[in-house]
Each structure stands twice: as C-alpha cells, then as structure tokens.
Copies of this chain bind each other. A is one copy, B any other.
Amino acid sequence: MRTLYHYPLCAFSRLVRIYLKEKFLEHELVVEYPWNRKKVFSEYPLPPDIPTLVDKDGIVLEGWYAIIEHLEQIHKTKSFFGGTFREKAETRRITQLFNEFFFMDVTKQIVFEKIMKKHTENRAPDSSCIRKGTAALKTYMEHISWLADHRNWLAGNDITIADMAAAAQISCVDYTGTIDWEQYPIAKDWYARIKSRPSFRDILDDRIPDMPPAKHYANLDF
C-alpha cells in the first residue's frame, strides 16, 4: 500500500493529501508529529521529512517537491501542471510563491507561533511574528484576488497544483482564524470552490488537540 506520513497542520502535507485525492491515488495516512518522529527515513531527520510518501514499489519520497514531480512523471493521466509550457511555468511560479515565500512570510509566522512552538520549543507565541505574518498575508490575498479575477483558476483555465499549494497554505492559516474573508470576496469565492471539492474534505475534518479551529473553518458557506 502507498503510505503518506504527514502532520495535519503541515501545509506541505496538505498539498500532497489534496493532490493524491485529485489524482485518485489510493493511500493510507499515518500522522507524524514534527517534534516526536516515530518513523525516520534517514540519519538526518531534517525538513522536508514531513510529508514522506512510501510508494507501492517501496521508493521513499521526502517532501512535496520529490513526491509530486515523481507522481506526475509516473501517473501521466490528468496532469495538474497545465497543458502548455506557458501554463506549466505559471503553475510552478505560483507554487513556488506559496511553498517558499507565503510559507516563510505567513504560515511559519502564524501557524508555527500559535500552534507548533509550544511543542517544539516549549515557548509562548511571539506576538511580533504573528503581527508580521498577518501584515504579509494581505499582499498574498490581493494577489490571489487578482489572479482569480482574471482566470478560472490561479494558473489558468484548469485547477493545478498552484491552487492546491495556495489552498494548503491558506487552510492552515485559516484554521487559526487569522483571515478576514470579508475583505477579499474574490479570493473567498476561489477558496469556497476549492473547499467544496471532495479532495479537500479530510483537510476540513482535521482537528488539533486543545486547539479547535476558527468557527468558519470547515464551513463551505463561510
């Protein structure tokens, strides 16, 4: 069986979970806590060790980049990278924007501080990080609004991993209730479309012990 080792509030894990469902690739999920790894694949359990996918043939794929590029190469039906070279470039531009920069500027500042820091460093959240993350969020939400206003999905006519990467990051931040959706009606419409896909259902069911999500988190009509 294909097995994905993931952490529910890890945005990269969420990207892979959504992708696996969209590709109809059966798998089982095993939760790993970044601060208390049970299954370790190398002597150096460094990021991107979560998520790790062990595929049916035993190959170990660590991190969204290795996992998704591998599966796209093996399972060519229904590509999620766009059809033309131009669409592929735009898909990868937006994916990098969210996986590298949104993660660093927003997800890490908010989700790590509010939820994970007490486990990994046993320290209280740093409110200046949360403020910085909340301020940075605005630029990205405006960019999503612009893209969704000009296109059907973020990178073009069809849903791609750019949408999944953006939604995966945003869903983690949204769990903490930081996004004021009324400010971004176009981005909200795009996110509502992603939320209502069957591939997103498990993400909306995620619950972290002692840390319930924002009230609207799992609501399709938020």
Q: Which residues of A contact B (CB under 8 A)?
A: 43-44, 46-48, 59-66, 69-70, 85-86, 88-90, 92-93, 95-97, 99-101, 103-104, 108, 139-140, 142-143, 146
Contacts and interface: CB of A to CB of B under 8 A. Distances in A.
Q: Which 4 A-B pairs have the closest CB atoms?
A: A66-B92, A66-B89, A65-B96, A62-B93
Contacts of A96: 47-48, 63-66
B46 A65 contact: no
A96 B89 CA distance: 18
Count of this chain's copies in the oligomeric assembly: 2
A108 to B, nearest CB: 7
A48 B100 contact: yes
A101 B104 CA distance: 9
A95 B62 CA distance: 11
A64 B104 CA distance: 17
Contacts of A101: 46-48
Contacts of A85: 59, 70
Contacts of A142: 44
Contact of A88 (B47, B48, B66, B93): B66
Contacts of A103: 100, 104
